[in-house]
Amino acid sequence: MQAKLFLRGGVLSLCLVLSACGEADDVVQNDIAESNVSANLPATRESETEDPFIWLENVEGERALNWAAQQNALSMPRLQGDPRFEDIRSEINQILTSDDRIPFGSIVDGMVYNF
């Protein structure tokens, strides 16, 4: 489970690094043009009128997972198409799998040990 979380964090880090390197206007235009979020949303219930994205709070719900899959389908080709992708991905993987990381603590007789 922890390895899966580390890998998700690595992918998120990669996305943030690559998106930060793009021009801000390009990112905004890409979000509007490619995502077109309102076109992908099913009709909302009356209780969702204040926050049309409240359904994303149910992170394991079918609706949220489908939306995330659609967004991944849009963003992954763009990220993987960047010439820096493999280098950054490799560096993130080395960091996440390094033996130099701070180990997780364990509780033994009421004391926390990290070795």
106 found inside a domain: yes
Cα 32 to Cα 26, 37, 70, distances in angstroms: 10, 8, 14
The residue that leads in pLDDT, 15 or 50, is 50
42 found inside a domain: no
36 found inside a domain: no
Domain count, the chain: 1
34 found inside a domain: no
- The pLDDT value recorded for residue 28 is 42
- The DSSP letter of residue 103 is P
41 found inside a domain: no
84 found inside a domain: yes
- The pLDDT value recorded for residue 27 is 45
Burial class (CB in 10 A: 0-12, 13-18, 19+), 75: middle
97 found inside a domain: yes
104 found inside a domain: yes
Residue 12 lies in domain: 2-22+47-113
Match 């939306």 to its residue by tokens.
67
The residue that leads in pLDDT, 49 or 24, is 49
Q: What is the rounded average pLDDT of the residues 18-42?
A: 51
Asked if pLDDT for residue 87 goes beyond 80, the answer is: yes
The residue that leads in pLDDT, 66 or 96, is 66
